[in-house]
């Protein structure tokens, strides 16, 4: 349990193996599927660069959940579900026990680090892969069914007292998933800074603000922005239209002071950096709400 909570706490971060050893109980040199001695459950899966198995990158849904295909382990190149490691994942599937997911990547300097994707449940076996599903933003809810994306609900419906209990976790996970689907770059200017393995200066912007009860459990109510352009967005100096094109205020003082800012460069143009999957784009309902609010403030 302590290891799983530690993994959830590092979700979305790029971490060195040394830091993982310091942070996660039991993390050492294990590769592939790790099942602790004496446990019937696997604890995590660890994909390494250049490994022998054809694993695939996670695919994200608007609720923050993700689908990840992971290869069973084998002997002599042949899958063997009787191996204790594979049996551990099968037990996790049967008893609905989560596992951690780490994927090794190379940073801009070529140094190998691990992307901590967080916790996932083994949903099924599909062909020659285990299919794992990551937790949604609201971990108290079930992840959406693959292939079925519910209609966008712009506003929160949960009791405010419940929201306060889970708000911090949901806000963090909202930002984590937005950084993933926007590839850690500002939606407007496409800038994304990294320093010592960390992404800097990027923030999750809510299209319908939290104070207006905009939904947090759905990334279609968000875009990823650098701190500068997020501040201007929150101040209604610019917004989006139904084509996801940039609309800038007519305020003369702002337009004069922003001559050197990318906002004016992108006026009338579609946002430069958007998610690849159409179902992760900002929801039309949220954009329409924001545009109407922007127009009222002019």
What is the rounded CA–CA span in Å between residue 63 and residue 209? 17
Q: What is the pLDDT of residue 225?
A: 97
When the candidates are 2.60.40.10, 2.30.30.110, 3.30.1330.60, 2.30.280.10, the CATH number that belongs to 2-134 is: 2.30.280.10
> pLDDT category, 143, cuts 50, 70, 90?
confident
CA distance between the termini of the chain? 53
Alpha-carbon distance 20 to 28, whole Å? Answer: 8
Q: How far apart are CA 215 and CA 208, in angstroms?
A: 7
Provide the pLDDT for residue 259. 80
Q: Which pLDDT value is given to residue 103?
A: 92
Distance CA 188, CA 228 (A): 11
Whole-angstrom distance, CA of residue 177 vs CA of residue 183: 10
Whether the CB-CB separation of 245 and 269 falls below 8 Å is answered with yes
Residue 43: helix, strand or coil by DSSP? coil
Q: Which string of b and e fits 173-209 if b means at least 16 CB within 10 Å?
A: bbbbbbbbbbebbbbbbebbeeeeeebeebbbbbbbe
Q: Is the pLDDT of residue 160 over 70?
A: no
Per-residue model confidence as pLDDT tens digits over 49-98: 876 665 678 999 999 999 999 999 988 878 899 999 999 999 999 999 99
Contact 218, 136 (CB under 8 A): no
Q: Within 13 Å, how many C-alpha atoms sit on residue 169's CB side?
A: 15
Contact of 263 with 188, CB cutoff 8 Å: yes
- Asked whether residue 261 carries a pLDDT value surpassing 80, the answer given is no
Residue 159 vs residues 86, 139, 165, 168, 278: alpha-carbon distances, Å: 41, 16, 10, 15, 31
pLDDT above 60 (res 165): no
- Using CA atoms, how far residue 272 sits from 95, 186, 187, 196, 225, in Å, is 44, 9, 6, 26, 11
Average pLDDT, whole number, for the chain?
89
Domain with CATH 2.30.280.10 in the chain: 2-134
- pLDDT at residue 279, rounded to an integer: 95
Cα–Cα distance measured from residue 171 to residue 174, given in angstroms and rounded to the nearest whole number? 5
CA-wise closest residue to 63 among 165, 134, 162: 134
């Amino acid at each position: 349990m302590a290891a799983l909570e530690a993994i959830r706490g590092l979700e979305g971060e790029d971490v060195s193996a040394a830091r993982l050893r310091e942070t996660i109980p039991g993390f050492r040199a294990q590769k592939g599927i790790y099942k602790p001695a004496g446990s019937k459950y696997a604890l995590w899966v660890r994909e390494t660069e250049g490994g022998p198995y054809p694993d695939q990158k996670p695919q994200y849904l608007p609720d923050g959940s993700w689908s990840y295909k992971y290869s069973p382990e084998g002997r002599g190149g042949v899958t063997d579900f009787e191996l204790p490691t594979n049996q551990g994942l099968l037990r996790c599937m049967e008893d609905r026990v989560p596992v951690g997911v780490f994927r090794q990547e190379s940073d801009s300097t070529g140094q190998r680090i691990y992307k901590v994707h967080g916790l996932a449940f083994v949903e099924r076996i599909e062909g020659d892969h285990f299919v794992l599903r990551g937790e949604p933003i609201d971990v108290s809810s079930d992840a959406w069914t693959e292939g079925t994306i519910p209609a966008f609900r712009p506003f929160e419906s949960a009791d405010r007292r419940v929201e306060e209990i889970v708000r911090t976790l949901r806000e963090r996970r909202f930002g984590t998933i937005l950084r993933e689907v926007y590839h850690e770059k500002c939606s407007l200017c496409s800038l994304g800074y990294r320093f010592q393995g960390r992404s800097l200066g990027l923030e999750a912007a809510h299209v319908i603000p939290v104070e207006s009860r905009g939904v947090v459990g759905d990334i279609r109510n968000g875009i990823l922005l650098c701190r500068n352009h997020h501040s201007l967005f929150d101040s209604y100096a610019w917004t989006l239209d139904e084509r996801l094109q940039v609309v800038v205020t007519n305020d003369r003082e702002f337009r004069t002071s922003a001559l050197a800012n990318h906002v004016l460069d992108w006026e009338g143009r579609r946002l430069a950096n958007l998610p690849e999957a159409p179902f992760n784009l900002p929801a039309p309902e949220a954009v329409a709400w924001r545009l109407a609010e922007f127009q009222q403030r002019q």
